Amino acid sequence: MESVSHDSLCIVSVMTLFRGLPRRGRSRRRAAVVAVTVLALTGAAGAAEMMVRFRIADRFAAGAEERLGQSPDVGLGGTPALWQLAQGAFPDVELEAKGASVNEMMGLDIDAHLHDVRRGPDAVTVRSSTVDVGIGAESLAGERLQQVNGTIVPEPASGRLILRAGPGGAITLPLTPSLDSTSIRITPERPTFNGSPLPAAMSERITEKVRHAVELDSLPLELRPQRLTVTDDGLSLSLRGGPATLDT
């Protein structure tokens, strides 16, 4: 009786084992199907995210291209573009352009951030904006300075730009850039020739050629200049804007 019971238990155990194998196989197949489905959905969502991000960035770039003379690179931050589009709000839109042109100034490096951009029924609005503009020395030279065959050397320590002109750069003319309301003003000091001041009449002719102002009163996004500093490369201009309507 014990032998029969023991054999019966063995048979039951083996049958139980083999009955479990198909269930485990089906479980593995179901898990594989779920995994493949999740991967497919993830891939589709990733592709949709990339497409939407590209399309949104393209719209912002097209809206800025006319003013900058080129299409800028556009960033939408770390928040998924699909979520931003669904909300109709973009917390931080960044536009970067190298060698852009605005008004009479060329060769500008622009880094702009548009904060809280919202899509309305009739327009796209911006709560505020910050723009930093790098103005290179070559851009500062312009036509007026080219008339005196001049080159500009930035001097950040003194907050001035040093114009060197004439044969071998013998004529030195310090320039002081400043903000005057909505203008950048370039104010020349008395030039020197090999370290000696030039005669008054000649000095006046030279300074009048390089004295000028760049008007900044027709900028988009209600931008207003805030700070102007001399850098190793030229000038750095910071602007801030308040609530505005965005061209897209």
- Residues 56-109 pLDDT 10s: 899 889 888 888 888 999 999 888 888 888 888 999 999 999 988 876 778 899
Tell me how far apart the alpha carbons of residues 182 and 180 are, in angstroms, rounded to a whole number. 6
Report the chain's mean pLDDT, rounded to a whole number: 79
Pair of tokens at residue 29: 């197949």
53-90: b (≥16 Cβ within 10 Å) or e: beebbeebbebbeebbeeebebebeeeebeebbeeeeb
163-204: pLDDT as tens digits: 888 777 888 999 999 998 888 898 999 999 988 888 999 888
- Confidence at residue 160, expressed as pLDDT on a 0 to 100 scale: 94
Of the CA atoms within 13 Å of residue 187, those in its CB half-sphere come to 8
* Distances from the Cα of 62 to the Cα of 10, 56, 71, 84, 105, angstroms: 77, 10, 7, 19, 21
Which SS3 state, helix, strand or coil, does residue 62 take? helix
Residue 248 has pLDDT above 60, yes or no: no
- Confidence at residue 41, expressed as pLDDT on a 0 to 100 scale: 44
Tell me how far apart the alpha carbons of residues 42 and 36 are, in angstroms, rounded to a whole number. 10
Per-residue pLDDT band at 30 (split at 50, 70, 90): low
Residue 159 has pLDDT above 60, yes or no: yes
**Listed range (28-37, 144-153, 196-205) with the worst mean pLDDT:** 28-37
Average pLDDT over residues 46-64: 86
- Confidence at residue 100, expressed as pLDDT on a 0 to 100 scale: 87
Backbone angles phi, psi at 80, to 5 degrees: -55, 135
Tell me how far apart the alpha carbons of residues 208 and 188 are, in angstroms, rounded to a whole number. 8
Per-residue pLDDT band at 142 (split at 50, 70, 90): low
Tell me how far apart the alpha carbons of residues 129 and 193 are, in angstroms, rounded to a whole number. 45
Residue 217 has pLDDT above 60, yes or no: yes
Residue with tokens 């800028």: 72
Burial class of residue 195, CB neighbours in 10 A (0-12, 13-18, 19+):
exposed
- Confidence at residue 39, expressed as pLDDT on a 0 to 100 scale: 41
Tell me how far apart the alpha carbons of residues 237 and 108 are, in angstroms, rounded to a whole number. 10
- Confidence at residue 180, expressed as pLDDT on a 0 to 100 scale: 87
Measured torsion, CA atoms of residues 98, 100, 105, 111, in degrees rounded to the nearest 10 = -60
**Listed range (133-137, 181-185, 244-248) with the worst mean pLDDT:** 244-248
Q: Are 117 and 126 in contact (CB under 8 A)?
A: yes
What pTM value is reported for the model?
A: 0.75
Per-residue pLDDT band at 49 (split at 50, 70, 90): confident
